[in-house]
Structure 1
Amino acid sequence: MTHRTSPWELIGEMPVRETLESGLEIVVLPKPGLKRTYATYATHYGSIDSHFRPDGSDAVVDVPDGIAHFLEHKMYEKPQGHDVFERFAELGAYTNAYTEYTSTTFLFSATSAVGECIDTLLRLVEEPYFTHDNVEKEKGIIEQEIRMYLDMPGERLRSNLMHALYQKNPVRLDIAGTVESIRTITPDDLYVCYRTFYHPSNMVIFLAGDVNPDAVIGQIADHERTRQLAPHAAIERIYPQEPAAVAQKRVEQRMPVATPLWMMGYKDDRVGLVGRDLLRRDLTISLMWSLLLGPSAPLFNDLYEEGLINERFSAHYSSATTYGLSQMGGETPDPERLEAVLLQRLGSEPLLPRSFERLKRKEIGEFVALFENLEELAFAFTAFHFRGIDLADVPAVLEDISLAEVEQLRQEHLRDSMRATSIVLPLATNR
């Protein structure tokens, strides 16, 4: 019998996977010799999931914008004032959590007491505690966070661009919601979202470190059996149909900045992709931006020499099944000149075969190095997992992408009708 080498074998990593009866997926990546263990417990639930049909219900539920982020915050509050942060600190560990458009992730990083840290992480995520008083208290805390973001020029630049690119897709909305939307959140709203999206069948645990995979999986499985959760139906998420056109071509805002901030984006109307198809499109457009505006690209150097950009200027593509977009930007003394040069050259700048092959080798090298950075590795694994992508497929897909494919996607993606610009100008009328 011919042995078919798996993608993981080709990169020299062998994760151990297990799916429990509850549907919870566990992935343990042994890293012998590493002192630190890093674990994430993530749910396929993010800020865009505000319209859905709960398990066993015929009715569609609409919840306030920002509730996924609010729920993430509230998971750290437990009865009798039990402090989860303090418990992790007692174990010599660090914990944090973050909410994105399509996922919410809880994590710990530890050098010892890994078993106790796993138990604490499980209890953190699996024991919700929402009351009228603690929800009302949290509203004030998150309102301050939202107002802080409203005063940050970089955040306004990006948020204004998202509102300009998208008319209806909830990716246009700030992850934390608005002051007005979070004020309407109730404990019942939080419990509905928790019961719908924090079911094990919608979640994954990823752990990497110098551990015994069977022991880790056994510990989690024993814990999950005590919960005795009933099977969960597939979640029906409801998203509005996004029109092809952008909402606005240009948004300008004045704020206390010394130098104008400029950002331009392209909305991708090719949505609905999953797995390797989504990965291939993501990698292809990302390669395009590295060739056009990476630090060693001729266009980047010309813009830098002219003084239109600094070393922090960047361009990137991001995507999920329900959206995709490119963003580029940074500080510039002359937004109009920068935009004019880019629009003149982005569509015609030569893409050189030698640069392309060198770039692919560099990307594969960075992918291999990713496995030595547990935090970035866990982030990438979770992001790919919920998009139906096997992280280990990245090198093979990268190798298979041709320069002609990059060129084809450049012509398809960089369309004027899908472009919008956001600018933050100094408060003074003269620039």
Structure 2
Amino acid sequence: MEKIVNNIIKEELYFETLENGLKVYFMPKKGFIKKYAVLATDFGSNDLEFIPKGENERIKVNEGIAHFLEHKMFEQPDGKNAFDLFSKYGANANAFTNFNMTAYLFSATENFNECLTHLIDYVQTPYYTDENVEKEKGIIAQEIKMYDDDANWQVYFNALKAMYQKHNVKIDIAGDVESIYKITPEELYKCYNTFYNPSNMILFIIGDLDQKEVFETVKKANHTEIEKIEGKITRFSEKEPKEIACKEIVEKYQVSMPMFNIGYKDEDINLRGKELLRKEVVSDILCDMIFKTGSELNDYLYMNGLVNDSFYGGFYSEVEYAFTLISGEGKDPYKVKDIISEYIEKYKKEGLSKESFERAKKKKIGEFIKYMDSMEFIANNFVSYAFKDINILDYLEVLKDVKFEDVEERLNKHFKEENCVISIIEPIESM
């Protein structure tokens, strides 16, 4: 077992890799009543083409299968639902799938070891039949149709479709109705046996708990007979061009005011570890300086009635792709985009404000220290970062090391007009 101590934020972390490859982390939090655990796999909606465990040929699976598999994990061979036992123990349980990972989690104030055992057990007990898979298709189809009517969801994915020509990030996490109706139990088992192998998973536990007892509970519950996958899973994806797919996508929905997402596709990709974390931190500070409430640009747009208080700009970072996305509502999205472009060009020529940089950096430091009191923030971000070879405990060290010159350099490299797109949802005109 390895013990990692971070003296800057006064946190310690225990880490061990089990025989079957499962990486287990435990962070003690003395005095906290709630305990929290998340078991995550490095498998998300982007993972559609790979070589299955025990096979030699690559396959391409149906869109939305990672999300579909997440839904099916709760149905057990005895006919019960995994949520039922969590409720009996007084715990709150949930799960989510995003582009890059699937996570199963719970929080509890009592019966923690029982809940932890149950979490490990049900996630390691797949059960897919023709009957229960067919039943789930109708449920997920309804969920997909609900999002099809969600203007916020559509304006976001249209921005991704405008930025990305080939990468799977432009595909809806849940897939579409046609793709999910093609999913079979055999296909689910191929995905499960490949990506839900313990060697491709991380278990993170946090709370006022005994370290030895935590690891003993995990080892007793863990299905050690599962054969470890040696090496990394072979995944395939088409090479994404640097160029955007198109400059704009406009659709009409039942909304009262036009909605927009303005995206800047990032060219600086395929980074991991501290190098990726540093780029993310620098970009976050830069976005705060330009777009956050109180910034020169934000004040101008708001005071001139071009946006309302929903206006927001942030950076989204993964290994294979990254982008800045600015969202909001306003009567003239094109004018908002033009003004944003003008301000960015102005900052490139005249320089950014050092005072604004120091303020944004201090704010980030304060936010991170505050978030370290949130079980959910620590656990969910820890596993997401870990799959990218980042330790979240390094965040503050990297943040403190960022210099004003780093942010100015990032401004010039990232915010390029040729990489800028706009997605707009316009109101349907009344008859």
The TM-score with structure 2 as length reference comes to: 0.96
How far off its partner does 1:287 sit? 0.9
- The aligned amino acid for 2:356 is S
State the distance in 2 between where 1:287 and 1:167 align.
28
Checking the alignment, whether the CA contact within 8 Å between 2:341 and 2:417 is kept in structure 1 is no
User: In the alignment, does 2:294 pair up with 1:296?
Assistant: yes
Cα deviations across residues 299-322 of structure 1 (Å, max 9, x unaligned)?
111111111112221111111111
Distance in 2, matches of 1:265 and 1:132, equals 41
**Counterpart residue number, 2:403:** 402
1:263–1:327 contact (8 Å) kept in structure 2: yes
Stretches of structure 1 lacking an aligned partner (at least 5 in a row): none
Equivalence for 2:225? 228
Distance 1:423 1:200 in 2: 42
Paired residues of 1:17 and 1:25 also in contact (CA < 8 A): yes
- Measure the CA separation in 1 of the matches of 2:356 and 2:281: 16
State the match for 2:33 in structure 1.
Answer: 35
Alpha-carbon offset, residue 9 of structure 1: 2.3
1:160: which partner in 2?
158
Could you report, residue by residue, the CA deviation over 1:209-260 in whole angstroms, capped at 9, with x for unpaired residues? 1101111111111222x53122213201111101121111100000000000
- State the SS of the aligned residue for 1:303: helix
Counterpart CA distance in 2 for 1:109 and 1:6 is: 24
Task: Write out aligned runs for 1:249-260 (5 A).
Answer: 249-260=247-258
- Whether the 8 Å contact between 2:27 and 2:207 is mirrored in structure 1 is yes
1:105-164 Cα offsets, whole Å, 9 max, x none, are 000010100011001101221100000010000000000000000000000100111111
Q: Whole-Å Cα distance in 2 between the matches of residues 402 and 7 of structure 1?
A: 26
Query: Deviation digits for residues 18-71 of structure 1, max 9, x if unmatched?
Result: 111111111111111111001100001100001001233220011001000000
Give the equivalent residue in structure 1 for 2:263.
265
Identity of aligned residues (%): 37
CA RMSD of aligned residues (A): 1.4
| C-alpha contact 2:121 2:221 (8 A) present in aligned 1 | no
- Find out whether 1:323 has 2:321 as its counterpart: yes
The answer for the alignment partner of 1:384 in structure 2 is 385
Deviation at 1:263, TM superposition (A): 1.0
In the alignment, which residue of structure 2 is the partner of 1:108?
Answer: 106
Does residue 417 (structure 1) correspond to residue 415 (structure 2)? The answer is: no
Q: Which amino acid aligns with 2:305?
A: G
* 2: CA distance, partners of 1:323 / 1:7: 31
In 2, distance between residues paired with 1:398 and 1:188?
46
Aligned to 1:50: 48
Q: Which amino acid aligns with 1:39?
A: A
Q: Secondary structure at the match of 1:27?
A: strand
Output the amino acid matched with 2:274: R
Write the distance in 1 (CA, Å) between the matches of 2:320 and 2:290: 26
Which consecutive unaligned segments of at least 5 residues does structure 2 have? none
- The letter of the residue matching 1:151 is D
* TM-superposition CA deviations, 1:76-121 (whole Å, max 9, x none): 1112321211111110001000001110000001010001100110
What CA deviation, in whole Å up to 9, does each residue of 1:333-376 have, x standing for no partner? 22122111111112323421122112212111111111211112
Q: Is the 8 A contact 2:4 2:12 kept in 1?
A: no
Partner of 1:246: 244
- Counterpart-to-counterpart distance in 2, 1:22 and 1:181: 33
Q: Provide the rounded CA distance (Å) in 1 between the counterparts of 2:5 and 2:321.
A: 27
- Tell whether 2:279 aligns with 1:281: yes
Q: Give the 4+ runs in structure 1 shifted more than 3 A.
A: none
CA–CA distance in 2 between the matches of 1:342 and 1:320?
24
Q: Tell me, what secondary structure is at the counterpart of 1:159?
A: helix
Residue among 64, 67, 79 paired with 1:66: 64
Cα–Cα, structure 1 residues 242 and 71, in superposed 2: closer, same or farther, change >3 Å? same
Give matches, 1:190-205, under 5 Å: 190-205=188-203
SS in 2 for 1:251: strand
Q: Is the 2:46–2:99 Cα contact (8 Å) retained in structure 1?
A: yes
CA distance in 1, matches of 2:52, 2:84: 34
User: Aligned AA for 1:338?
Assistant: V
TM-score, with length taken from structure 1? 0.96
Letter aligned with residue 275 of structure 2 = D
Give 1:6 shift. 6.6
Letter in 2 for 1:145: E
Q: What number of residue pairs does the alignment pair up?
A: 425
**Aligned amino acid, residue 227 of structure 1:** T
Aligned match for 1:22, one of 5, 20, 23: 20
- Residue 26 of structure 1 aligns to which amino acid in structure 2? V
Residues 7 and 393 in structure 1, CA contact (< 8 A), matched pair in contact too: no
- For 1:125 and 1:315, locate their aligned partners in 2 and report how far apart those are by CA, in whole Å: 36
Which residue identity lines up with residue 379 of structure 1 in the other structure? N
| Conserved 8 A contact 2:198-2:228 | no
Correspondence for 2:182 among 181, 184, 187: 184
* Aligned-partner Cα distance in 2 for 1:343–1:355: 19
